[in-house]
Structure 1
Amino acid sequence: MPEFWVEKRVVIAPTPRDLADAVARRFIARVVKRTERGKVVHVSLTGGSMGGAVLAAAASDARIAQIDWSLVHFWWSDERFVARESSDRNDKQSREALLDSLPVPRENLHFAPASDDTDADLDAAAESYARELSRFGIPDRPWPAFDVCFLGVGPDAHIASLFPDRPEIQVTDRAVVPVRDSPKPPPERITMTRPVINSSKRVWLVIAGADKAAALGLALAGASYESVPAAGAKGTQRTVFFVDDAAAAEVPPELIDREY
């Protein structure tokens, strides 16, 4: 019998659109709650179709007008090392979906280096992003504790740019690493490592589509994170898999949270 991680919650919505709306509502509620108390909020965003869909849904939430966006910092768990305005950039997708419409100070948008930056180099880009994270580090680690870390999950169960059975997934002594010859194009990327992701207060994995069902099932069954990176994603307070009906085909009923 597989051993399930009971601390992981699974929340199901009928369709990808319903899923994006549900996650967006929770996200905005979380930011409102923190900023109303004058707390600084660090958020790690992700790319992919659902990453963009959640932000687009958030853009239509009337509560964004009551948020003090000077308290909110945005990061990306991984980035494609391509030109700054390339459509492959995760940050470009995020800007178009939501960020460009918000009064977020430029210094609160922590973009990873691009391939067309001056003296661009993949290794230097990873080191530069790690230094930026360290500017907001907390006493026991050189990076912030994200209030929410969004992650997508690929059909191969990768998260960020941590792919199965590759050395990046095993790195624990650095915050950011370069990725070369990525199994998924574009080939060059930088990615946060597991220690950074797993120090987040809340890890929210947003998954839609029948092609993700097997990966989700393995992640919930406690598979090895080296071969199933999504299985190793875990927040310090909450780990929630937000999924649509199609992706939930292999979710054990006892793991479904119908109240969260």
Structure 2
Amino acid sequence: MSTPTQQTRDDRSELTTLITAAVLELTRQWNRLTVAQDRLLRTLERIRPGLGATTRINSYITAFHHEVGEFDRLTRAVAERWAAQDLPTAYRDGALRALRRANRDITLFRWTADHQAALTGLTSIFYVDLVARIQEAVRRAQAFARAAQEATRTVTLGRNHAGIDAPRLAADHPLSTVVYSDQARHPVKDWARSALTYQGAVTANHGAINTARLELEAEWMQVRDGDECGWTGHQDTDHADGTIRSIDDCAAYPVAHHGCVRELIPRPDLNGRRGLVSGDPA
């Protein structure tokens, strides 16, 4: 029979497997953009003034836009599958892990209307976040296509006999990166791993929190976290590990930051304990 620690590792490995598969698929589909970009640039580099040059350029640009459309369709499918299948699995596994850690029967968890509503709220937010990144990538790819077409136009008009500057176009329009709000560019795989790990952890911990509240009527939860992790953020001096937190506080901070390893354990045995304050040591 597995120990609680072994079971927790097994639960987390299931979530890790979901995340890894989704990250690989997102990265694979994103690679479609970079391959199409490289192919277009190599082709346009060979364009010289002459009869039919404009027609050929337009056909190459059209082929690139087709690949962008396929990227849009296939990455949206990944996002839909993540929201419709993988995140519900993460939520359920978080709920079952919480019951195991509280030494309660896992059959207590059911997909009640409350759980379904909570999950719907999470998945809708996370799905919109992913689609926004996909839309941004499509816009950037379209901007690259316009720039490439304009660059080759000067060649076909005979104003640039050296041909297009493909390295410059690629550097100005790097389709293999995701742009963050601070304008920093990150490789797609790094962004996907960070985003999906965060979404999976938040969803799983909300499964634990809601199960503690609804099935166990728990008012408190015990926190396991990284040794130096703060409650509201990594630099928070209010360290989270080994503390007791109110269930409302846990709902507000299911994780502290991207990459957070926080685990929340129901403590219904603490209900009604006088003098207990959120943040007290367990």
Whether TM-score is above 0.5 comes out as: no
* TM-score (norm. length: structure 1): 0.30
Q: Which structure's residues are more often helix, by fraction? A: 2
Q: Which structure's residues are more often strand, by fraction? A: 1
Question: Which structure's CA Rg is the greater one?
Answer: 2
* TM-score (norm. length: structure 2): 0.28
